[in-house]
Each structure stands twice: as C-alpha cells, then as structure tokens.
Structure 1
C-alpha cells in the first residue's frame, strides 16, 4: 500500500468532516445575511480569511504617510529621486531689472533685413551699401556708450551687423562730428555722405523699436543723429549744414567715374547711342529717378545724343549724394545696354 493510500486509510472520515464544516459555514452565512451582515464580516465565508487580509491591506493603504518599509520599498533615509530643473517661465522675453531703464536684454533681436532695407530706402542706396553703413554705425555707437549699455545694445541689434567688428576701442571725439568722422573712416566715404547714412540706420532702428535708442545715455550732441535724414536724401556736412564737395574731392570722385567730366558745380556725362538703344537707356533712368526720388537732368540735342547733368540744385554744387547718383546712373546704363532693363 503506497503512502497516499496509507494516509487515506489512516483518516477515513476526513472528506466527510470537511463537507460537514462547509455545510456549517453556509448555514452560518445565511444566518449572517438574515441579520443584515455579509458572510465575510461574520468570518464564516469560505474565503473569509483572505478577505480580512485584503481589507486590512486596503485600510493601511488609505492611511497617510509613507508605505511600510519592505524588501522592495525605500526606507525613510533612501535618497529622493532627482527631478529635472523647471524651464525658465519667462523665456524668451525676460523683464529688465527693477530700476533699470535700459532695453530688455532678453528681448527679440531687431529684424536684420527689414532694418537694412529701411535704411537703404531712406538714404537712397542699395542693400549692400546700407548693410555696411549699418555695421559701421553700430560699431561706433557701441563704442560711445558704457559697458553695460553696450551689452544691452548688442543683445538687441542683429548679429549680422556686429560680427567681426571692433566694439570696444574708444572713440576720441564723442560728439556728432566725431561720430560722423569715425563712421566716415570705416566706410571710406566723405563725412557728408556718412552723416546721411548714419541717420538712415539710426532711423531704421528707431522705427522697429524706439526704446533701443531712448534707453541709451548718448553723449551730448548725438541726439541730432537719431533724427531721420531729410526727404530725398539731402546731403549735409558733419555739423548738420548742407555741404558741397571741394575741387579736390570732385576730382577724386571723377577718377572713379571715367565716363564723367565736370567740376565742383556739376558732373556731366554725354551719351551717343542708336535711337532705339538711347530710348531704352532713358526709360531705365526714368525708373531710377522714381526709385531714388532724384535723378540726372537730361537734355537732348538730337535723336542719338543725350547729356546727363548731376548736381544738388539748392546748394549750387556737387555733393557726395551726386557722386552716388552718378554711380547708379552708370549701373543703369550698363543694364540697359545689356538688354536687362
């Protein structure tokens, strides 16, 4: 007889005893229900021991405080998990420090193309020339203010106007004339021309964000440079008065304009072309006048000949703006002759 049979033989009444116990529990459970209780509450259901265990566990879970320490649960001295730092809620625009009247160092930069295009339109120059004027103006402006204002200025102006620039060397003469001369040296152009371009650049900055210039403590005498140039690009000297070029300056300009002649009173270019080609050139010059707000005075002696005269009438002399205009006229003639107009 094997061991299982032996144990069964030794306890022949075990199955009947278990069945009797179950009947008894069911009877007690019915009695409990008749009294408004659940069988598990009276401890008479078949799974009452497990249900009491789960009820006790749920009661412990409802209690406040950390869970009991166990094999897989951290104790009270366990290190807390590291949480990632919260992002700066004020990015990308942070308010300035209380009491600081400078421009917001976290503000968005001025828009580069809009700024340069605006300066070009005001000064009557092309985009590349206006860009170089903007770079020179910003360079000198950064060097006439203190270190804190310089940092705020460079945080706002487009990076394209500051890359590779000298932004720390002091300017010897910190007034309007000194500012204009410094920019003139960087641009390699006459002071009259430089002043007009400075005003155009500063005017374009103010048009986008007036607070940028208003917050800078500019040296006395520089405020006049923040006013936009007069309509039509009126050329003025470094002291703010209208100025013409002297004979030496005109001759130097004529060396760069081989197709022109003249003196300090006017620049002159003669055109002799076939009639249809001449008409195409004159149409292109008329469009140039509409673009710039001024153009050469044109006279014709016959259908193949035209004479172009450039001068600043209210000054009665050649100004730096006239030299610029002569350069633009040459470009327009080359485009028309190439069939581009």
Structure 2
C-alpha cells in the first residue's frame, strides 16, 4: 500500500467534509474552499460585466456559483475516496476476470459506491477494503444528501431578500424620494409603520446572509430588486432623519435606532464575503429637493462631525454597491411605478 496516497485521500476527504458541513449546516457562512471558490468566480464575472456592460452575466452568477459549489463538493469527495482505493493495487478486484483493476476502474468503483448504485462487476478484496467500502457508501449518501438539500434554503432566502428590496423601493427610489413621499406637511411620523415592518425582515436576512454567504452573489439588474441599492438608500435616509431633520419632525427615535441596528447586523456579515470599507468616500447627498418642499434642514459643523463618524460605514456601503456591479450614482433612481415592462432587463 502507498501510505502517502492513502493519507492524502483521508486528509482531502476530511477537508471537503469540513467545508461542506461548515457551509451547509453551520451559521458561520461558507467554508474555506467554498468561500474562495465563490469569490473567485464572482470576481471573474464582475470583470466580464465591466468589459461587456451586460449585467445579465451577473444575474446568472448566483445560480452558477451555487451549482459550482455543489459540483466541487461532489468532485472532491469522489477524488478523495478514490485515492483510498488507488493506494493499494489489490484493493479492488474484477469479479469476472479475477484480476487487478486499473486506476480508472477504482475511480468508477468509488463513484458507484458513493452513489449506492451497487453494481457487481467489481468488488473489494479483504476485510479492510470491505469495511471501507461500507463506510464510504453510507458516508457518501449522507454527504451528497446534505449537499443537495443546501440548495433549497438558499433559494428561499434569496426570495426573501428580493421581497425586502422591492418593499423598500415601494417607499421610494432614493433616500430623498422616500422622505418626500412621507412628508405630510408637518413631520415624517408616517414612516414608523413601514420601518417597524422592515426591522424584523432585515434582521432575518442578516442571519440568512451569515448562514448562506452565497446569497451575496445573487444579483438582480432590476433596480427594484437590487437589494444593495435599496438598502443603501434606506440607510442614507436614516442618516438624514437622524442628523439633518429637526427632532420634532422625525419618526420615533427608538424605531430609527432599531432599524439602524438591524441594517448594521447585516453589514457586519460582509467581511465574510471579502467586502471591506474602501478608501473612496461616497458623496453626501444634497437635500435641495427637501428644502424646496419647505422642509427645514439642519446643517453645520455639528452635522458634518456626525457624518465624519459615519465615514467607515458609508465606505463599506460603497464597497458593497461596487461588489454587486453597481455604482454610487445608481442610487438616484425613480421609485416604484405602475408601468409594466415585459421585456428582459439588461
């Protein structure tokens, strides 16, 4: 027996199993292999999108990465288990010819053992290989089942993410538009009810994103469903309410802080997908439209100091937007309307 090949197979199988379990069964996000595979594929898709200008490439990214993770697990499990049998020339025998099997034969035997197909043209020779075959059979069944069932909650979580995004967009297509839509001539108290609805939803998505970091790679070229744009608009709008609007005109401070913390619970999950604050500082929104509406705007050194404290937060939001294939200027879009476009969005 070649012990180097045997233990190489053991180590590779353990590493793959660890990655699969950490990715699909833990709430810590993707495992070491899956995380880097996902980011590598997404970075390539971003380059293609930048050169071609077709966001449709990014729309396919989430599903492509999800399937790639699944295929990668299956491939690594198959290869690592095959190495165990390849380590010994006499581990598997051909039943019909009673002769040794080739490396290809052993890979084939491992494949139908893991899938519990149970073909009988080859069999293990010796008690050790019999037991190993049995172990790999039920281990393969369990791991493959876990890998496949991982797909379902990810898709469900993505649907929830798009629901939140569309809901925010119905409030308004930009931070300023949301405020204009909910100005009743006296204050912004009418925002309290939609904010309360958003708090639980965003917290749930933050936990989903922490458990399934692959969610970040599901992109929508439809701005109404573009979560990163709508969430950033919401956060920028909260900043305006907290620092640019007089206290008596704001929604309940408790609700504002709870919503801000809910968004923060999502933002702290971003480093798991290699998103960190960049050096570029996004521009501060000019509130001319609000002033033209007769809304009093607070400004000055104190407000500037508060915005300076939020620099890292806003840099992180900018990095998030860019990593999803958008730019900060894309935040300035019109809100939800009743027009129906049945054509494809590019």
TM-score range, shorter chain: under 0.3
Structure number with larger C-alpha Rg: 1
If asked which structure has higher relative contact order (CA below 8 Å, sep 6+), I would say 2
TM-score by length of 1: 0.21
TM-score by length of 2: 0.21
Judging by fraction of residues, say which structure has more helix. 2
